[in-house]
Amino acid sequence: MKLFLDTANVAQVSEIASWGMLDGVTTNPSLVAKEGKDGSTSSPQVFKKTVLEMCKLVPCVSAQVTAVDSEGMIKQGKEYAAWHKHVVVKVPMTTEGLKAVSFFSKKGIKTNVTLVFSSAQAILAAKAGATIISPFIGRLDDQGEDGMGLIAEILEVWENYQFKTEVLVASTRHPRHVVDAARLGAHICTLPYDVFKKLPNHALTDNGLKKFLADWESVKK
Ligand code: G3P
């Protein structure tokens, strides 16, 4: 399973990429806005710079269109895709979005269909030729639904067909989501920075290392 970082912060990408196992980054307009409350990060020049810096660090960077009509999405998406071959054009799961994804698919432009909350939406996006779909599990859990259950259902559907579309588990909230996604065979899981930072930690690892080093020191001449 590929692991992505869900952020618009280049320093965070650089830090986690330095661990040597980061496969990609997912951004969205809210994450971009969070990085610059004055609107600076969402200006076209700064957004492009941010995406390009991330493209130097990882092989897959989702950049979301903000147009809501297919023509606008296509215009923005073509521009993003021309920035760097690592860019994946993120498109919302709407009928306009499906039209845009179908266009991008025919042109060989990679897409990530976001805001997926049902298997029916997942099937439509895959049939339109999405490279990736992003079901938001945390937001389903937040309203009392079963987010990981949706991932299981989508992957069950995928077993019946030859969809090449990768299932990206998004809106994750804690490290257990990574394991549950991997057990189900999801292709990708994206994690916020604070959740990613928790993954390598275990108290027994820390205590074990402390004891190894103390024992080593105690016999050193
Ligand atoms: O990449 C988008 C997705 O992960 C959003 O997560 O926490 O805003 O529901 P969240």
Task: Indicate whether 59 pLDDT > 90.
Answer: yes
- What's the number of domains the chain is made of? 1
Per DSSP, 93 falls in state S
Distance CA 150, CA 134 (A): 11
Would you call 107 helix, strand, or coil by DSSP? helix
pLDDT range class, residue 36, cuts 50, 70, 90: confident
Q: Are 65 and 93 in contact (CB under 8 A)?
A: no
The mean per-residue pLDDT over the stretch 194-202 comes to 98
pLDDT over 80 at 37, yes or no: no
90 is a catalytic site residue: yes
| Atom 7 of ligand 1, residue of closest alpha carbon | 171
- Report CA(171)–ligand 1 centroid distance (Å): 4
Under the banding of pLDDT at 50, 70 and 90, the label for residue 141 is very high
Q: Calculate Rg over the CA atoms of the chain.
A: 19
Q: Which residue's CA is the nearest one to ligand 1's atom 6?
A: 171
Q: Which residues of 69-96 are buried (b: 16+ CB within 10 A; e: fewer)?
A: ebeebbebbeebbebeebbbbbbbbbeb
Structural domain harbouring 124? 2-220
Domain containing residue 52: CATH number: 3.20.20.70
Question: What is d(CA 164, CA 36) in angstroms, rounded to the nearest whole number?
Answer: 36
Question: Is pLDDT of 39 > 90?
Answer: no
* CB of 141 closer than 6 angstroms to any ligand 1 atom: no
| Its pTM surpasses 0.75 | yes
- Tell me the CA–centroid distance for residue 170 and ligand 1, in Å: 6
Q: Cα 57 from chain centroid?
A: 15
Mean pLDDT of 212-218: 96
User: Residue 139: CB within 6 Å of ligand 1?
Assistant: yes
CA of 139 to the centre of ligand 1 (A): 8
Can you tell me whether residue 84 is helix, strand or coil? coil
Residues 101-106: what's their mean pLDDT?
Answer: 98
**122 band by pLDDT with thresholds 50, 70 and 90:** very high
Which entry of 2, 49, 90, 221 is annotated as an active-site residue?
90
Whether the pLDDT of residue 56 is over 80: the answer is yes
